[in-house]
Amino acid sequence: MPIIDWKKVPLFQNREVAKDDSPVLKVEDLYLRFGGLEAVKGFSFELKRGEILAIIGPNGAGKTCILNCISGFYKPQGGKIQFKGVDITRKPSAHICSLGMGRTFQNIALYTGLTALENLMAGRHPLMKDEGVISGALYFGKAHRIEIEHREVVEYIIDLLEMEEIRDKVVGSLPYGQRKKVELGRALALEPDVILLDEPTAGMNLDEKDDIARYIVDVHELWGIPMLLVEHDMGVVMDLSDRIIAMDWGEKIAEGTPDEVKVNPKVISAYLGSAEAAERRIT
């Protein structure tokens, strides 16, 4: 099997790269409420180009709510979200995806009746252009060439994520860990400018976690894609992240490097509990 120089593969060749130091993703004073429940309260952060930023916190802290607001599944009641300088606060999910935002989900959201290969091809859909009814129906000319080009990109991803054995298997028949790998591959197939990773190692055994962490590192080192990571496994978070934001009850309680956050008293209190933390929950 030939050794592939991944930096020369045809992924991300047309991606726009900013010439300044502006953040690729910026969230300002975000508020999200469900009836009387405030899920997110005045949350702000910036995702810098080329970094992995993790958001951590206990169950119910509002981490996935943040991702759902960014990707357009939830519409916040207050605040502003900018992606590559574009205000996406009220934009639909399909539009945000077409701008170059890829995502994985805490509860896997794949096409279970399709194969792994077909799921990755579906991830290319926002990049596919309509070449006309006749050309598409008869599958010739430009439509055929474009299909081959998209298939080539998917083949690179299958090779990178070591999915050869499952490429033609129906996703619904795959074990949980393999499905997680397919979902990461589908997010990559979009050639995203940012990837939102929602619990990428949840439900996995130790070996599967090591594999996914390695794939994330490989992707980041090869193409420098900024990543926003929500994850409960602190070992994974500490190993992968450049910066960490800790939150509790919808609010930011700490921000900094992994070494800074792990010794922050508020973070320790939120995870391990204290009289102060208990009082906050009661009130």
φ, ψ of residue 198 in degrees (nearest 5): -100, 105
Q: What is the pLDDT of residue 5?
A: 52
Binning pLDDT at 50, 70 and 90, where does residue 22 land? confident
Domains of the chain, by residue range, sit at 6-112+194-282
The owner of tokens 């930096």 is: 7
On the question of pLDDT at 269 being above 50, the answer is yes
Angle at which helices 116-123 and 176-189 cross, to 10°: 30
The yes-or-no verdict on residue 14 having pLDDT over 60 is no
Mean pLDDT estimate for the chain: 85
Question: What are the C-alpha distances in Å from 193 to residues 27, 96, 180?
Answer: 16, 11, 20
pLDDT single digits (tens) 182-223: 999 999 998 899 999 999 998 899 999 999 999 999 999 888
The answer to whether 11 and 160 have CB atoms below 8 angstroms apart is no
pLDDT, tens digit, for every residue of 66-115?
999 999 999 999 999 999 999 999 999 999 999 999 999 888 889 899 99
Fold for the domain defined by 6-112+194-282: Rossmann fold (3.40.50)
**The pLDDT of residue 30:** 98
pLDDT at 127: 73
Whole-number pLDDT of residue 273: 66
Torsion of CA 39, 201, 197, 259, to 10 degrees: 80
Taking CA 47 as the corner, what is the angle to CA 126 and CA 226, rounded to the nearest 5 degrees?
Answer: 50
| 217-264 pLDDT per residue, tens | 999 988 889 999 999 999 999 999 999 999 999 999 999 999 999 999
Please enumerate in sequence order all residues whose Cβ is within 8 A of that of 268, keeping only pairs 6 or more positions apart, or say none.
none
Task: Give the CA distances from residue 194 to residues 50, 71, 107, 205, 263, in Å, rounded to whole numbers and listed in that order.
Answer: 9, 11, 20, 27, 29
| Percent above pLDDT 70 for the chain | 81
